[in-house]
Structure 1
Amino acid sequence: MSVELHHTVSGPEDAPALLLGPSLGAASDMWQPQVEALSAHFRVICFDTRGHGDSPVPDGPYSIAELAGDVLRLMDDLGVRRAHYAGLSLGGMIGQWLAVHAPERIDRLALLATSPRMAPAQNWLDRAKLVRSEGTSAVADGVVDRWFTPGFVQEHPDQVQDRRDRVAATAPEGYASVAEAIAEWDIVAELPRVEAPTLVIAGADDPATPPEGHGSTIAEQIPGARLAVLDQAAHLLSWEQAERVNTLLVEHFTAGDRHAAGMRVRRSVLGDTHVDRAEERKTPFSEPFQDLITRYAWGEIWTRPGLDRRTRSCMVLTALTAHGHWNELGMHVRAARRNGLSADEIGEVFLQAAIYCGVPAANKAFAIAQEVLAEEA
C-alpha cells in the first residue's frame, strides 16, 4: 500500500512539473543546491522517500516498486498527470522503475550517480542488519565517505558534517528496509523499454556507482540516452558539482520545448504586458524573428543557471549602452528592476559603463533610465 510522502513545491504553478528523488539516507533537502536554479523553469517537487525525512516509516520490507508507487500517489494527489523526473542513487532507481513501468507519467528523465543493479546483494543485507542492531549512525561515516571527494571534505568540513548528521538521523527501519529493497534491485533487462529522453550523470570519482558498469550500463541499455561523466565528483555529485549539474539538468529538461521555456522566462523578465504587446504586433513577416529570440535568447541563454538574472541584467544594460541600442534600453531598465536591481544599482552599472563605454553613452543611458524609473515611482 502506498504512503503519503512529505514534499515541498516551488516554482511557477503553470510550469512543467519536475520531481526530484533523493538518495538512500537523504531527504528532499539534499536538492538544496538545485531548487533555486530549477524553480526558474519548472514546478519543482522534492519528496522524502518512505522511511526518510518527514515521510512515514512503515515496517519493512520495502521494494523499489513500492517506493515508485508512493511517487505516483504523490503525483495524483498534486494533480500532476505527467512530469520530468531527476533522481540520484536510490532516487535514480525509482526513476528507472517509473520510466519502465509507468512511461505515460514520465516526460524526460535524468539519472544521477545511480545503477540498474547494485550487486552483491549480501552487502546491502549486511548493512540493513547492522542498522537495525546499532542504528543508522553506525553507517553514517562510511556513507558520507563515498559521497564526497577528499578535496571537498577538506574545503567544506561543515557541509560534510551536516550531511553525515542527516544520514545518522534517518530512521533505522526506513534505512534498513530501503537497503533490503536495493539488494533485490535489478532492472537491466527492462531498460531498453524506456522511451523517455534520458540523461545519465556519473561522477568520475564515485566509489559507490562508478561510471563503468553503472551509469555506462544505463546509457548503453536505454535507447538514445546520453552519459555525462563529471570530474572531481563522488557520489553526491549534485552537491559537490552543483553548478555543472544544474546546467546539465536545465539543458536536458528544457530541450523538449525551448520555445515554451523561453516564453516563461521572457514573461518573467519583461512582464506580461510587454510580451503580450509584442505577440499582438507579430505578423507572418516578423514571426520567425520572434520565435528566434524566444527560443535562443530566452530559451537558450536566459534559462542557463550559470549566472543569476541580476547579473544578466547588468550585462545587458552595459552592452546596450556600449552599442547605443537606446530603443531597447528602457525595456531592459524595467527588466532589471523586475530582476531585483535597485535604482542605485542600475546607476552603478551606468557609472561603470561611463569608464569603459564612454561618458556620452552613459549620459544618454542615465537620461533614459531616469525617465523609466520616474514612471515607476
Structure 2
Amino acid sequence: MLHYHLYEKGPQYKWVTFIHGAGGSSSTWHKQVREFRKNFNVLLIDLRGHGRSSGIPWKRGDSFAEVADDVIDVLDEAGVKVSHFIGISLGTIVIQTLSHKYPERLESMILTGAVTHLNMRTKLLIKLGNTFKYMLPYMWLYRFFAWVIMPKKQHIESRSAFVDEAKKMCQKEFVRWFNIISTVNPFLKRLQSSFNGIPTLFVMGDDDHLFLPHVRALAENNQHLQFLCVEKSGHVCNIDQPERFNQLTIEYIHSLKRDDAHSV
C-alpha cells in the first residue's frame, strides 16, 4: 500500500486528492494544504518509489495503469468513494489514466504543468536520459532535467523542492519511472481521445516552455476543457505562485458545486 496522509474536515465536505510529479512527493503540495484544509477533506499520496512509498514491489511491470490501481487502492483503504484530483506534471498522466480506468471515482481533474504531449525537445531529453541512465548517478540526470524544465531564476524554489525530494529515491526506482515516461507519447494520444465527461481544468505557468503550447492548443480545440495561465511561473506553478494557484483551483471546485446545485 502506498503511503498517504488524510486531513478530514467532515463527511459533508468534498475530497481533494493530490498527485505529485516525478521525483517529488506529497510534501511538494505543502503550500496548498493549509488553504485546502479550510474547504475540503484532503488526501495526499506518495507514488511508488517516492517519499515514504519506497520499496513497494511492482506487481505486473512498469505502467501507468498499475500506478492508477495503486491510487484506487489508497482511496478504497481511506474510504474515499469519489474525489476531485489535482496533479502536477507526471501526476497529471496518472490522473488522466484514472479518468479512463475509473471515471466514476473522479469529480473533476485539475491538471497543473500538464504533460499532454512530448515535443522534439522533450524527446531529445528522454533520449539523452536513456543513453546515460545506467552510466551516471541518477541525481546528475535529475538535476539536469529539472534545470531544462525549470531554467529561470524565478523557478529556483520549485526546482530545488523537486531535487531535494528526488534525493530520497534510489537509482533502480528512477530507472523504472524513466522507462515508463520514455514510452508515454502514444499512450498520451489515447488518453486525450476522451475525457469521459469529467470536468477538466488545465492550470499552466506562462513560463512552462516545454508543455504550455500543446496544452493551450488542446484546450482551445475542445470546448469542454477549461484553461488558465498563471503569470510569472513555470512548470510548477503551485510552488512558484501558490496564492494565485490556490485561489484559482479552489474557486474552480466551488464553481462546480454551484453548477451541480443549479442543475438539480
Pick from 139, 151, 160 the counterpart of residue 137 of structure 1: 139
- State how many pairs are aligned: 252
- TM-score under structure 1 length normalisation: 0.61
The aligned counterpart of 1:166 is 165
The aligned counterpart of 1:52 is 50
The aligned counterpart of 1:224 is 224
CA-to-partner distance for each residue in 1:190-213, whole Å, 9 max, x for gaps? Answer: 42421111110111111342x111
The aligned counterpart of 2:194 is 193
**More helix by percentage:** 1
Shift of 1:243: 0.8
1:235 aligned onto 2:232: no
1:37 aligned onto 2:35: yes
CA distance in 2, matches of 1:217, 1:76: 36
Structure 1, unpaired ranges of 5+: 262-377
CA distance in 1, matches of 2:183, 2:253: 30
CA distance in 2, matches of 1:221, 1:49: 32
Structure 2, unpaired ranges of 5+: none
Indicate the RMSD between aligned Cα atoms, in angstroms. Answer: 2.6
**Percentage identity across aligned positions?**
22
Shift of 1:128: 5.0
CA distance in 1, matches of 2:47, 2:134: 18
Which amino acid letter does the alignment assign opposite residue 49 of structure 2?
G
1:175 aligned onto 2:174: yes
CA-to-partner distance for each residue in 1:64-114, whole Å, 9 max, x for gaps? Answer: 111111111111111111111010101001111111221111011100111
User: Aligned runs of 1:13-24 on 2, under 5 Å?
Assistant: 13-14=10-11, 15-24=13-22
- Contact 2:18-2:87 at 8 Å conserved across structures: yes
Which amino acid letter does the alignment assign opposite residue 165 of structure 1?
D
- TM-score under structure 2 length normalisation: 0.85
CA distance in 2, matches of 1:48, 1:244: 25
CA-to-partner distance for each residue in 1:1-28, whole Å, 9 max, x for gaps? Answer: xxx1111111414221111010101011
Larger Cα Rg: Structure 1 or Structure 2?
1
Distance 1:6 1:217, change over 3 A: farther
CA-to-partner distance for each residue in 1:260-294, whole Å, 9 max, x for gaps? Answer: 99xxxxxxxxxxxxxxxxxxxxxxxxxxxxxxxxx
Name the SS for the 2:207 alignment partner. coil
The aligned counterpart of 1:254 is 254
- Contact 2:154-2:240 at 8 Å conserved across structures: no
Shift of 1:46: 1.0
The aligned counterpart of 1:293 is none
The aligned counterpart of 2:5 is 8
Which amino acid letter does the alignment assign opposite residue 200 of structure 1?
F
CA-to-partner distance for each residue in 1:142-164, whole Å, 9 max, x for gaps? Answer: 233223631353xx6xx754542
User: Aligned runs of 1:145-156 on 2, under 5 Å?
Assistant: 145=147, 146-147=149-150, 149-153=152-156
User: Aligned runs of 1:353-368 on 2, under 5 Å?
Assistant: none
CA-to-partner distance for each residue in 1:167-191, whole Å, 9 max, x for gaps? Answer: 2332222222112212222333442
- Contact 1:61-1:177 at 8 Å conserved across structures: no
Shift of 1:129: 5.4
Which amino acid letter does the alignment assign opposite residue 2 of structure 2?
L
Shift of 1:122: 6.2
- Contact 2:28-2:161 at 8 Å conserved across structures: no
CA-to-partner distance for each residue in 1:302-356, whole Å, 9 max, x for gaps? Answer: xxxxxxxxxxxxxxxxxxxxxxxxxxxxxxxxxxxxxxxxxxxxxxxxxxxxxxx
Distance 1:258 1:226, change over 3 A: same
Which amino acid letter does the alignment assign opposite residue 56 of structure 1?
S
**More strand by percentage:** 2
Q: Which moved more, 1:162-171 or 1:30-39?
A: 162-171
CA distance in 2, matches of 1:257, 1:162: 33
Distance 1:223 1:192, change over 3 A: farther
